[in-house]
Structure 1
Amino acid sequence: MKIIGVIGTKDTGKTTLVTKIVRKLVDEGYRVATLKHTHTGFDFADKDTGKHKEAGVELVVGSGEETFFLLGRKMVLDELVGTIQLLGDFDFLVIEGFKGMPYANISTSTENEFTIRKVDPFSLKEEELDELIEVIKNRSYCLLQGLNCKKCGFESCRDFAMAKVQGAADDINCKSQPKRALLRINGHPVPMNPFVQEFISKTVLGMIDALGMENHKIEKVELIIKNK
């Protein structure tokens, strides 16, 4: 799952740009998730869910034609991204806000070292949007795990990221990506090399077989352990 951010000051068209990027990626057949950063809370005060929150609950879950979770605490970026990865096999995650994150971004105003393009969303022509999408596909990258294993040819994950946003690195098959198993401790992803991922997945699946589940079609296993 590649990550692309949209950053900028207030009222500079961030949401407008996000919707344009998402529509174009979806039209091309990609599966896309979005994440929005806000400096305030999400207010459902006039709804039943808001009344639940006001009553003092820590987690509000809404279920109907859609499902949403309203958790009464802040989640850091890597915890959010890890959760989104568990929810679906997405090709792109488009993030609005989080201007300090170490991922490729498109800016609508102030740029930073990870900015790959600065645009005016309100005057963006169709051919310019097409070009922007190609830049996003070529210069965005997946969740940084921080192993600094050098197997990508760079000294560190950050060195790779900086080269990628500058267009000086190709896509890589990052060995630390959670392809077989994802481990999170206190909500934070823990980098694991392919051997460890394979070891954990085979161990857990072996235990499940021992429970008599071998006749079930198992696509994904989720295991949560609380250490009290």
Structure 2
Amino acid sequence: MPAPVIAFVGRSNSGKTTLLEKIIPELKTRGYRVATVKHVPGHLVEPADERDTNRHLAAGSSTSVINSPEKLIFVKKQSAESSLFDVAWSLSDDFDIILAEGFKNSPVPKILVHRREAGAPPESLSRVVAVVSDEPVALDVNRFGLEDVSLIADFLIDTVIKPSRSRVDLRINGEPVALSNYPAEIIAAVMETMAKTLKGVGEVRDLEFRLKKP
């Protein structure tokens, strides 16, 4: 079950990374666990530590792992770019929020980051819930300044983190299925009731069920 995801989008040099560098510690000081996902168009420049991993992949391994005292890095071969939903589902559920940088074509909620120097903001963005900018932008959504880090953190907590504390996520054949309140409540009630009938099961705080057919 992934944490809720919100993407920070905008032109190159609009300040997305700088803004996230401020928001991440702000959320952490308030006790929230944060994961980040960066979209990189084109090919990655491989760090030196990953050269042997790439040799493993070239030899036929589908996934290779780098384990060191400082970092645990999973490298997985893929024939096409994963969606942001796929990346979110591949992470553990140890996070309260996933902050994505880029992924402007993803269907997740987005915060548009804009600076006058970067040029006109991108058009035809879907699900923009807020704008962070140094000048007015013609969108009828919440607007923050580039230095309003505390207010942006408040917005993320109130609109993304807190509403997701109790949630039902469903994927069928690998694809996420959007659930309105009623079917989500029905699924949650049925699964929780069935789980409670099992011997040794106490309070149900988190339940994950997966069915895979041959």
Distance 1:189 1:178 in 2: 18
2:22 maps to amino acid = K
5+ long unaligned stretches in structure 1: 120-127, 144-170
| Per-residue deviation, residues 77-104 of structure 1 (Å, max 9, x unmatched) | 23334555x52341x4322122334512
Structure 1 residue 138 and structure 2 residue 155: aligned? yes
The aligned residue for residue 24 of structure 2 is: 22
Q: Paired residue for 1:71?
A: 76
The unaligned stretches of length 5 or more in structure 2 are: 135-144
Number of equivalences: 186
Report the TM-score, using the length of structure 1 for normalisation.
0.60
Match of 1:117 among 120, 132, 142: 132
User: What's the Cα RMSD here?
Assistant: 3.8
> 1:193 and 1:178 mapped to 2: Cα distance?
16
SS in 2 for 1:106: strand
User: Given the superposition, is the C-alpha separation of residues 51 and 207 from structure 1 closer, same or farther in structure 2, using an over 3 Å criterion?
Assistant: farther
Q: State how far apart, in whole Å, the 1-side matches of 2:165 and 2:25 are.
A: 27
Contact 1:104–1:141 (CA under 8 A) maintained in structure 2: no
CA distance in 1, matches of 2:60, 2:189: 41
Q: 1:214 to 1:132 in 2, by over 3 A?
A: closer
Contact in 2 for aligned 1:103/1:141 (Cα 8 Å): no
1:87 corresponds in structure 2 to: 93
Matches of 1:184 and 1:213, distance apart in 2: 28
Match for residue 54 of structure 1?
Answer: 58
Matched-pair contact (CA < 8 Å) for 1:49–1:62: yes
- The answer as to whether partners of 2:7 and 2:100 remain within 8 angstroms in 1 is yes
CA distance in 2 between partners of 1:223 and 1:4 (Å): 27
Query: Letter of the aligned partner of 2:188 in structure 1?
Result: S
Letter in 1 for 2:113: I
Which residue of structure 2 aligns with residue 35 of structure 1?
37
What is the one-letter code of the residue matched to 2:56? H
Q: Secondary structure at the match of 2:148?
A: helix
Greater RCO (CA < 8 Å, at least 6 residues apart): 2
Structure 1 residues 51 and 36, CA gap change in structure 2 (3 angstroms): same
> 2:177 pairs with 161, 185, 190, which one?
190
- Tell me the CA shift for residue 3 of structure 1: 1.9
Query: What does residue 103 of structure 1 align with?
Result: 110
Paired residues of 1:180 and 1:198 also in contact (CA < 8 A): no
Distance change >3 Å, CA 34–CA 49, structure 1 → 2: same
Instruction: Please give the alpha-carbon distance, in whole angstroms, between the structure 1 residues aligned to 2:76 and 2:84.
Output: 15
User: What is the TM-score when the length of structure 2 is the normalising length?
Assistant: 0.64
Q: CA deviation at 1:182?
A: 1.4
SS at match of 1:227: coil
SS in 2 for 1:39: coil
